[in-house]
């Protein structure tokens, strides 16, 4: 009997020990804190998700000489005096067409920056689509950006009203979206104007712009000839050059010489 009682006692002690161990484990588990939710890991604060920076609404860039809306005394505008209010005396405007171009636009921008000149770039919608960074670089450098149609058709006066609205309207919207500047001036390719072109230009609150001085640099007549024509400009003139549509190395070289010569005569460059 003694052996049997001892065996039962041993079995009871073992059971109590097991129960005691389980109690210890449960107590230890109860003292541990539950893991916080994933969104409260950092110091018990909920995660704050950053909101995206809003895209600025495109706005027109006013000319350097006035904050007032410009109107045209004559259309299309060929001289600065065709604008009201007109810029101060002894001012001149350099306009650059057909870009942005990946090779020549940066070179033109470098020349302008070197001589601290602001210009007016009439850019093509398809080029803006292909080279948006260059279009933004033009605008960020303080130059005026304007509409030169979507695809640069040379037959503007014979296009249908639907096609004209597409050429002018799509370029207008793309330039505004990419550069943040709403175009306020339009130049028809080749200076081809008709009443329909003028009317659709006005529908988009743009003024039509031509030029008074044309060195025909797009024909590549030589650096000396381009420079000579530009240097012959007078106060109030709107000059025409190109940074796109082909090899414009002659234009770049001519501008590098003509700009300081014009400034030496006391002329001040203004962007439209």
Residues belonging to the active site: 97, 242
Rounded to the nearest 10 degrees, what angle do helices 249-264 and 223-231 cross at?
30
């Amino acid at each position: 009997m003694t052996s049997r009682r001892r065996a039962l006692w041993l079995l009871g002690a073992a059971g109590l020990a097991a129960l005691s161990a389980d109690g210890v484990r449960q107590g230890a588990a109860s003292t541990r804190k539950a893991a916080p939710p994933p969104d409260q890991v950092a110091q018990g604060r909920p995660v704050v998700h950053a909101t995206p920076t809003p895209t600025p609404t495109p706005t027109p860039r006013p000319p350097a000489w006035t904050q007032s809306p410009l109107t045209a005394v004559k259309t299309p505008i060929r001289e600065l005096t065709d604008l009201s209010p007109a810029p101060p005396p002894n001012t001149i405007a350099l306009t650059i067409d057909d870009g942005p171009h990946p090779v020549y636009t940066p070179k033109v921008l470098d020349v302008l920056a070197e001589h601290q000149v602001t210009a007016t770039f009439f850019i093509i919608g398809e080029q803006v689509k292909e080279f948006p960074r260059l279009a933004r670089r033009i605008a960020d450098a303080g130059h005026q950006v304007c509409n030169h149609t979507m695809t640069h058709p040379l037959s503007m006066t014979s296009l249908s009203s639907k096609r004209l609205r597409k050429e002018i309207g799509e370029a207008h919207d793309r330039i505004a979206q990419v550069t943040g500047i709403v175009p306020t001036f339009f130049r028809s390719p080749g200076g081809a104007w008709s009443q329909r072109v003028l009317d659709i230009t006005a529908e988009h609150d743009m003024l039509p712009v031509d030029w008074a001085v044309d060195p025909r640099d797009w024909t590549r007549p030589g650096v000396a000839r381009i420079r000579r024509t530009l240097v012959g400009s007078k106060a109030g003139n709107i000059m025409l050059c190109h940074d796109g549509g082909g090899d414009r190395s002659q234009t770049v070289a001519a501008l590098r010489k003509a700009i300081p010569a014009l400034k030496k005569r006391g002329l001040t460059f203004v962007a439209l």
